[in-house]
Structures are given as structure tokens and as C-alpha cells.
Structure 1
Amino acid sequence: MGMFYAYGGALIDENEIQAKTESGEFASFARSAMKAPADASIDFSTGRLTAADLRGPMVSPVATRTPFEAIGIGKPLTIEIRHIYTGRYPKRNLFHRSSDMIVTSAIKSSPVLSEASTAINMMRKDVCPRTGFSTPHADEFGTPVVFYTSALTQRNSSLTIKFGFDEFPGDELERFGQILADAAGMPLFAAAGLQLHGASAIAKLVGRLGESLFDRRAAFRATESITFARPGSTIPVANFALMMQDDEDERRILRTHVISGGRLVHAETNRPYDGDIPYVVISLDGRRNDELKHFMSESAVSVMLSDLTSGAGVDSAHMDELREAVAVYHDYRLRRRADRIADKMSHESPESYEGKRLAIEYSALVANINEAALKPIRVAEQNTPLFVNPVRHAA
């Protein structure tokens, strides 16, 4: 699989970033950019990065574009699908020139042995080969959001994006679309048992719809690591990134194409890529978005509910109650992790490296707790940080 980062006019992978770092070329470029920015540049296998490209957080220096905000441990992180191109898919036959399409994503932390919940992001009817789109149409259901956290705690994660095609009965797809609409801007989370958990609805989808969601032979499947604390790995930056499958033609495309406006275009003509190779462009950004503050808990709840309700018949009303209880339990687990970090902080100097690292991790955990009664209170008058349960404190 391949994920390629946009560095000026080049699209490069982690291996090339590592090679340029170890050779000292990045350091040399940085020095040149400080002394003589007009002449500073660094060449990659697919293009060139100049000092002008660094005006702003690694995006094209066009004043009308919203800049990316930095990402990292303890900071917000939003991952979105910015553009999908189907390439040679769906495969045509004598009777079908188009097919219905479903786009899914999944992200999980390392090390995690269990399978991550799948987020159902988009659905579209009558998709033809070589189709590209950036957002759902106004009359379609879906969301480009793949992941959001108010404060990142996952140091190493893996991201998978898939899309598949099939022919679905109209009423089945319409029913699914209504459930997705109820999620109010959030993707619909589904565990491997096909039990779908939306904001206020649950449905059991069977047959070919389920096969398209979870079949590992999907038309497009790309998995990449997003690592912030793995020795030897490249730390991601806030920017666009290109996800493609293993294909011998990938490198040839990258020599002639760049990401512009969130999609792949020819470097000289600015014409959108229209060949046979499918791809997905994602973005990573550190901007806070309170509308998505429940994203993490919704994802965790879907996995827990799948375990609790596996093989059991649970009606919608009872499922909503169970879902609320599991959401509180998820916050409780975050609180317990925060308390353990607080205990470690009490044995470290606030000015030490370890003390600062623990403080960032603690703040990130607390930021992801949605239930107010479970948020800890920091007693400012203590010399050593002290954290108490607000319910007991009030009593």
C-alpha cells in the first residue's frame, strides 16, 4: 500500500522522506532557506520543494486557501476524505454500466488485537468507472469525516479506507441512507457483525450490503500507519496525503502529477488525473471541531455494543438506553487512565521532560471525556497536582 505526502510540487512516501533526512539533504535545504530563500530547493523523485512552498503549513501559498493547523499528541486531529477517484472500477459488463458504491474507513491504535469498528462514510448510486468526487451530493447521505479527537492520545495508529460496488435494492439503500442521515454529520459505525449503531437508530443489514462493507476483496483497499512516537518512523504533518494501492504504475503517475485543491492533477496542465488507477486523498488537520466531540465515544460504543448484543434481540428503545450506558462506561475508562497518569505526575517534576509528557497525555485524556460528572477537578492550591472525583468532592 502507499501513502504519499505533498511536499511542494512532489509526492513522496515515508521511505524517501527518511532517505533525505539521513543523507542530510533536508538539513541543508533548511539552512539554505534561511540564508538565501530565493535559491533554496530540494529535488525528489517526483518533483521539487522550494522555500516558497513553506510559506504556510505545507500548502500551496494561495491566500484564499484556509491553512492547516499543526497536529501532534495532545492536539486536536481531524482526518477527512477530500477526494475519491474510482479509476478502473466498477468493472463493467454487458448488463451493467454502473454500480452502487459504499465508502468505509477504520482506524485503530497499536497495539490492538481486536478488529476496529468500521465507519460507513458515503454511499452513492449509479457510479461509473473513472468517477471522481469530493463530497456527497446535497441529496445524498454521508460524511467525509474519517476520524476526530479533541486531543490526540493515540501515539501509533493504522488507517484503512475501502470502497466497494454492488447492486442494492432501492428500498434497502434508502433505509440505510435514512439511518446514516440520523447520525447528524457523523459516520455510521458498524462492528463486524453488521450491527449498525447510529446517533438514534439501529438496523440489521444483511446479504450483499454486508458483504460489500466487510469483504476484504473490496475494489479499493489501502492501509497506512499514522505514527507519532514510533522510533525510526516519520511523524505526520498537517497536510493532504494520497492513498493508493500497490500498483507498478503508481510511481509513473507521481512523476507527472501533484495534489492541488485536494485532488490529483497534472503538474503542468492542472488537468485532473483520469486514468485507471483508483486513489483517495485525505487531509490531516489540527483544527478543533466541537460538533465532532463525540466521535471517539461513538466508535468505542459500537465495538462494545457488538460484544454485548451479539446474537441477542434488542429493540430500538432498549438499545438506545444500553448505548448511553456504554458511552458513560467509555468515559469512565478514560477517567481511570487519566487518574493513573495523574498518580505518575505526582512523582515527577512539572518542569522535567517526563513531567511535561505526562501532563500532555493527561490533558488529552481529560479532553476526550464527554460526561461532565466524570471530568476530574484540579485543585490549584496544592503544590503537587491533585485530582478528585467531582461527585465525591461535592458530597
Structure 2
Amino acid sequence: MTGTPPPDVVCLGESMVTFLPTRPGRLADVPSFDRGIGGAESNVACALAALGHRARWVGRVGRDGFGDHLTEAIGAYGVDVSAVVRDPGRPTGVYFRTATDRAGAAHEVAYYRAGSAASAMGPANVPYDSVTDGRILHLTGITPALSASCLDLVRGLLARRPGRPPLVSFDVNFRPRLWHDRTEAGRVLRDLARGADLVFVGADEARELWGLTSVGAIAEALDGPRLLVVKLGRGGAVVFDRGPDRGPGSHPADGTTPADPDGTAAVDPFGTALHVRAPRVDIVAPVGAGDAFAAGFLSGTLRGLDPKSRVRLGHLTAAAALTVPGDVAVPARRARTDRLAALDDRAWERLRLGPGWTGDDQEVRTS
């Protein structure tokens, strides 16, 4: 990477070519698809680049047309793709999905990623310098599920050793289809999360993985990260800031707990907790919203904003993804998101965002 400024954020993981149906219906009935790109880590990199940050995506794709498309499309967002490796013997992963809501019973996803180029990533073939020279390294729980070598890679990057980036971010991103055993997935993902500095986890994921039903229980289980963000869907998010000197085992004596997903209290036994509500959004498709939220929060972190502003930026960047059909959305310009993030609490709670809201000439509803 000689001759270019180091990145603000490095995102490592698999990206795939996605095929989105041109009309609703079963995969068996849809006659044609539009091609796009998808992958949690590259989604984050694309959004961060659109927000004005230097972002690098590190991955492995096949030496095929789909690999060409991925690197070109991700690079077109302004992402540095110079560290992407082209594998001559393994294909680029692809997947197809229906147009219906991911949570719906009729939703279908067909992955063709087994034996993909990305699954061959490991400590021996990912250049360490290209991954660790940014201010933030962003990882997710998808990568360690791809193969044993991918798990070894992520474990090594989360190890506390000389040369580790100043902040390592980890999004749990539990994908049941990628794991053979849910108990094993819970153990591995919890251990990995506890090694990060910043962790994103959905309350629904924590319930599915670890049987945890309160934000307080999640904070207690994930007691390693300095910053923990628990996403509550439409209920917003709770961010725990343990401070630079807090870590595992730093528990209070009074046994108090922070707000449950349906509450608003902010009493945290493991640091300072803050619950930030999400704006109302007219959802087009939920795919990619979690990645966009992480990008918005990381953008605020890079800018040194306070936790409330970081979470609000996460919500606004997620809203940009929720109001378009594809996996990757271009966020609103920084001046627009900053203005909305700075609204007083009453105006923020009245905010309603729909398709097209990211355009500078679009009115934003407060109803």
C-alpha cells in the first residue's frame, strides 16, 4: 500500500454476486433477475466510502467474470480493492433471493458459496499488513463460519498482540445456514466477540444464539468489548461504553441491569448505557440494514462524535438501506445526516423516512 494514505477502516470478508428477482414470487417462478453485489463487510466498506472515509475491502474472489464484477462494482463506490486476491482455482460465491421480506415465511435464499474463493482465506494467504494498517478493522461472524482456515484467520486478527489496529470492530451477524451446530456457533461467536473492542449484536441474535432475553443479560455475557451496541430493531439500540479502563469481570455490586428491549432505563452495571430510539421508516427491503447501521456508527466513531450521535448516524444510514431494494445503498450526504442527527429528542421521535429521503431535494416528514 506504499504511496497511498492508510485507510480509516479495513473490512475483511466474503462478498458475493447477488441476483435479485425482477418481480415477487417463488424462485421457481421468477423468470429473470437483476445482478447486484452483497457481502456484510463490503457493504460496510461501500457505505463508509460514500460517507467520505478511506475504506479498504480485503477479500478473495475467483478469477472469473463474477470476481471482475465484484471488484469493479465495489471499487466504483470509492473503496480500495487493491488487496483483494484473485483465486484461479475456486469460484466467486453467488446467491439468489426472493423479493419478499427476509423475515417472511415465503422468503427464499439460495447460496452457491461452498468451496468459494473466500472460503480459502486463512492466516497463510491474507497479507497481515493490508488488514492491520487502518484506524479500525471491521470483522463479522460470517467469515469464521465459512471454513476452519477462515476461523483461524479471524481468531488471529482478534488476538491482542503488537500491530493490532487501534480499534477492532466485530458484528456478530449470525447466519444459521452457515453453521452445522447452533451450540458451537454460540460458543465460537461469543468467544470472538469478547476479543473485540467494539461489538454489534441484535437482541434477536442474542436470543437465538445464547437464549438471552434482556439487554442486561447480553451485556453480562459479552463482557470483553469496550463498546457494545445491542440493536433492538424498531426499538432502536442501546450502546454500552465501558471506558478505556474497563474490561472482563468489571461488574458492580448492586446487580442493577440496563433497559430491556421494551424499556428505556439507562442503568448499566458494566459502564454507561444509552438507549437511542430509531426513526420510523417506510421499509422497502430489510436486507443490508445491519451493515449500514455499523457503517454509520463507525463513521461517527472515526469523527469522534458522542455515543448518541453515533447511534443516530447508524439509524440514518440503516434507513438509507431500508428504503431501497438492494443490499447496498448510498447514504444521504453528511450535511443532511448531521442535521437530522442533531434534532432535539421530540423532533427525532416524529421523524419518518421513506423511499428517496436521502436526496437533498426531498422533504423529510415529521408526523
- TM-score of the two chains, using structure 1 as the length reference: 0.24
Higher radius of gyration, 1 or 2: 1
**Greater strand content:** 1
The TM-score with structure 2 as length reference comes to: 0.25
